[in-house]
Amino acid sequence: MALRIRKDGRLLCAAIHPQEPGDTYIDDALHYMLSVEYQLIVTEPNEKHMLRGEWWWANSVPEGIEVDEFYLAHRGDGKPPKTVEEILEAFTKQPSALVTKAEIQFIQAMRDAFTRGVGYGFMKQVIEWEWQYQIWKHVQAIGE
C-alpha cells in the first residue's frame, strides 16, 4: 500500500489516512522497497496497523510500539529468509502434517499476484477480510 508523509514527518498509511495539504505521496513500488526489500520502515501487526495506520523508520520506533514480526524475523544476520518450500519441507516431517494441493495452489496464486505488483499489506488485508467473511458465512449456514 502507499504512504503519505505528513509535513510533521509522520509516515502514514495512504489507505487509512486521507490526503492533507502538504502531504508527500509515496507509491506502492517505493513503499514496498522501503518496507519489504530494505526494511527501512516498519509498522505494527496488522490488527494494530489498521487502527493507527502509521509507519516508522526502523531505527527510530517509539517506545511501546510493537513491530510486526515480519520486520524482525530476518534483521541483522545478513541471511535471506527461508523459502516457503524450505519451511514446508520441515513442517511436513512432523507426524500427521499435510500440505494440500489447494494450499500449494494458494502459494502459487500469491506469487503470481506479487509478480503483478500486488503488495504485501494489500494481500495480507484481503486475506483477513475474506477469511472473516467466509467464517461468517459458515456460521450463518450452521445456524440455519
pLDDT tens string 45-99: 888 988 999 999 988 899 999 988 877 765 555 566 678 888 788 778 877 788 8
Same domain, 75 and 102: no
Q: Are residues 107 and 136 in the same domain?
A: yes
Domain boundary among 81, 101, 132: 81
Q: Does the structure show a pLDDT above 90 at 120?
A: no
Whether the pLDDT of residue 122 is over 90: the answer is no
- Picking from 72, 66, 52, the residue whose alpha carbon sits closest to that of residue 10 is 52
How many other β-carbons are positioned within 10 Å of the β-carbon of residue 49? 19
Tally DSSP H helices, then E strands, for the chain.
6, 5
CA distance 73 to 106: 23
pTM of the full predicted structure?
Answer: 0.53
Lookup: cell for 19: 490526503
Contact (CB, 8 A) for 119 and 32: yes
pLDDT at 43 over 60: yes
- Report residue 110's pLDDT band, with 50, 70 and 90 as the boundaries: very high
Count how many domains the chain has. Answer: 2
* Residue 108 pLDDT grade (very low, low, confident, very high; cuts 50, 70, 90): very high
Domain that holds residue 70: 1-81
Helix, strand or coil, per DSSP, at residue 11: strand
| 92 and 72 assigned to the same domain | no
Q: Are residues 75 and 23 in the same domain?
A: yes
Using a pLDDT cut of 90, give the percent of the chain over it. Answer: 40
State the Rg of the chain over Cα.
Answer: 18
For residue 6, CA distances in Å to 21, 28, 45, 53, 111 come to: 9, 17, 22, 13, 33
